[in-house]
Amino acid sequence: DGGITQSPKYLFRKEGQNVTLSCEQNLNHDAMYWYRQDPGQGLRLIYYSQIVNDFQKGDIAEGYSVSREKKESFPLTVTSAQKNPTAFYLCASKAESSYEQYFGPGTRLTVT
Amino acid sequence: AQSVSQHNHHVILSEAASLELGCNYSYGGTVNLFWYVQYPGQHLQLLLKYFSGDPLVKGIKGFEAEFIKSKFSFNLRKPSVQWSDTAEYFCAVKDGNNRKLIWGLGTSLAVNP
């Protein structure tokens, strides 16, 4: 059953700690994306990767980092430098030949 | 910079009412247009898309959207909504040169049974 998995569904951290959100896809898609969704603010792009070992900053990359060592994996680290990390994080992927992005179920991160 | 505007942030309808959600974008060149839907507790999924050709696009679950180039609009419509249409709806645009989607802020639709 192809798709995108994000784990965990809910994540709680103390302020000052880095935390890594997992995103795995078995769709054989080249491109992967990380978005942040806040109420009333739509989806904002954090980072994206078009190919393994390459990634670009999105619109709100400050305080975040990513890696793309494998085609199927695109983990996002929320660092202590992110001023307002509590949010719903969505991972997506896209085939090279398509414009449609497929989304995972999301991870809700709460930092206190 | 390109932008996408969704005019209605919150919409409340009764079942069987007609729906139209507005979406306008700012880019003047060739665009690809999308409507995504996020049902409560579910993944964000594609509702419909426009790339070229017939400006009236049919999507899943009886939704349709019309691309009006002169108005830079891609409004979503459904003639008769159901309670199960309660969800958040996002309009997104990709211009010809950009690898990224530009997203609207979303419209929250609540359908009362």
A9 has a pLDDT exceeding 70: yes
**Torsion angle of C-alpha atoms B95, B101, B103, B108, degrees rounded to 10:** 120
Which of A42, A92, A101 lies closest to B105 in CB terms? A42
B44·A90 Cβ contact <8 A:
yes
Cβ separation of A40 and B45 shorter than 8 Å? no
No. of helices (H) and no. of strands (E), chain A: 0, 11
pLDDT digits (tens, 9 = 90+) for A59-83: 999 999 999 999 999 999 999 989 9
Mind listing the pLDDT tens digit for each residue in A18-37?
A: 999 999 999 999 999 999 99
Contact B34 A48 (CB under 8 A): no
CB contact under 8 A, B101 and A101: yes
From chain B, the residues in CB contact with A99 under 8 A are 32, 34, 49, 51, 94
Tokens 């691309």 label which residue? B67
Band (A1; pLDDT cuts 50, 70, 90): low
Residue A105, chain B, CB below 8 Å: the answer is yes
The beta strand positions in chain B, using DSSP E, are 4-5, 10-14, 19-21, 24-25, 31-38, 44-50, 56-58, 64-68, 73-78, 87-95, 102-103, 107-112
CA B104/CA B90 separation, integer angstroms: 6
